[in-house]
Structure 1
Amino acid sequence: MNRTWRRRLVIIGVSLQALVLLLGVGMMVVVMLKYPNELPARTEVMYAWFVFIVHAIGLGLAVYSLGLMGRQPKRAGVYLLLTGLLMIPLTLGATVIQSLLFMVAGLGCFRRQSYFLSA
C-alpha cells in the first residue's frame, strides 16, 4: 500500500522535532556557558533538560516508526500515536504541532485504502 502522505507527515514532524531539539540544546548550552550567574532556579533548568530528553525520545520513536511503516504499519501507527499523546502533556504543550502530525499519521496507518475506482 502506498503510504506517501503518512511518511511526509512524519518526516515534517521529525524535521521540526530535530530543529527544536538542536536549537534548544544549543541555546541552553550557550546560556549556561556565557551567563552562568543569570540562570534561573535549579528546578527550571532541570525541567528544561527533561523537556529536551522527551524531545529526543520522541524523535527516536518517530524515526523508528518511519522505518516500520513499510513492513508493519499498524505497529508504526501505535508508536506514532503514543509518541504524540505522551509528548503533549510531558512538554506542557510545547510540541503541539509535531504531536498532531504524528497522531494524524498514526491514525492514517490504521486505515486501509482501496485505490480501485468504481465506474
Structure 2
Amino acid sequence: MKRTGELVLGIIGVVINSIAAIIGTFMTISLQVGFDQESDLIENELMNDPNIQAEEAEAVMGMMGMFAPMGWWIVAIHVIGLILGIIALVKLKNNGKAAGILFLVAGGGMLILTLGFTLIQSILFIIAGIMCLVRKPPVSSEPPEEPRTE
C-alpha cells in the first residue's frame, strides 16, 4: 500500500526535529559557557543593586542556573523523538500500524515533555500516526474466485 502522505509528513518532521536538535545543542552549549563566564559579573551587579536583597539575588542566580539543564532536557527529547521518527519511517513500508503507533508516541511524547517547544514536528508526527492507523487497505476490484467443483 502506498503511504506517500505519511512518508512525506514523517520526513518533514524528522528534518525539522534534527535541525531543532542541532540548534538546541549549540544554544545550550553557548548558554552554559556564557553563563559560566558571566555568572560572577551578574552576581556582583545584583549584589551591588540597593533595590535587590541578597536572597533575591541568590534566587535569580539559581533560576538562571536552571536554563542549561532545561536546554539539555529539550535536546534529549528532540533526539529521542528523532530516533522514534526514523524507526517509524523504516517500519512504514512493512507495518503501517506499528509505524503509526511510533509516530503517535514520538509526537505526543515530545509535545508533552517539552511543554510545547516541539509543536510543529509533534503535530506532523501525530497527523502521520493517525493517517497510518486509520488508512484501510485498498479493496481489490476483482471478484473473489469461487471454488471449482470437479
Same fold (TM over 0.5): yes
Coordinate RMSD, CA, aligned? 2.0
TM-score (norm 2): 0.71
Q: Does 1:63 align with 2:80?
A: no
SS state at 2:93 partner: coil
Which residue is 2:46 aligned to?
none
- Cα distance in 2 for partners of 1:115, 1:37 equals 65
Offset at residue 66 of structure 1 (A): 0.3
1:41 aligns with 2:80: no
How far does the alpha carbon of each residue in 1:45-86 deviate from its partner, in whole angstroms, 9 at most, with x for none?
Answer: 111101110000000000001000011110110011111111
CA contact (8 A) 2:88 2:99 kept: yes
Q: Which amino acid aligns with 2:88?
A: S
The question of whether the paired residues in 1 share the 8 Å contact of 2:88 and 2:103 is answered with yes
Report 1:100-115 matches (<5 A). Answer: 100-110=123-133, 111-114=135-138
Q: Which residue of 1 aligns with 2:55?
A: none
5+ residue gaps, structure 1, are: none
User: What is the aligned partner in structure 1 of residue 26 from structure 2?
Assistant: 26
Q: Distance in 1 between matches of 2:15 and 2:86?
A: 10
Q: Detail structure 1 runs of 4+ shifted over 2 Å in the superposition.
A: 30-44, 113-117
Cα distance between partner residues in 1 of 2:29 and 2:67:
14
More moved, 23-32 vs 64-73: 23-32
Distance 1:104 1:113 in 2: 18
TM normalised by structure 1 equals 0.87
- Mark the CA change 1:84 to 1:76 in structure 2 (over 3 Å): closer, same or farther: same
- Residue 94 of structure 2: SS of its match in structure 1? coil
| Matches of 2:107 and 2:35, distance apart in 1 | 34
Q: Percent identity?
A: 32
Q: Distance in 1 between matches of 2:11 and 2:89?
A: 8
Give the structure with higher Rg (CA): 2
Shift of residue 34, structure 1, vs aligned partner: 4.8
Q: Which runs of 5+ in 2 are unaligned?
A: 40-62, 142-150
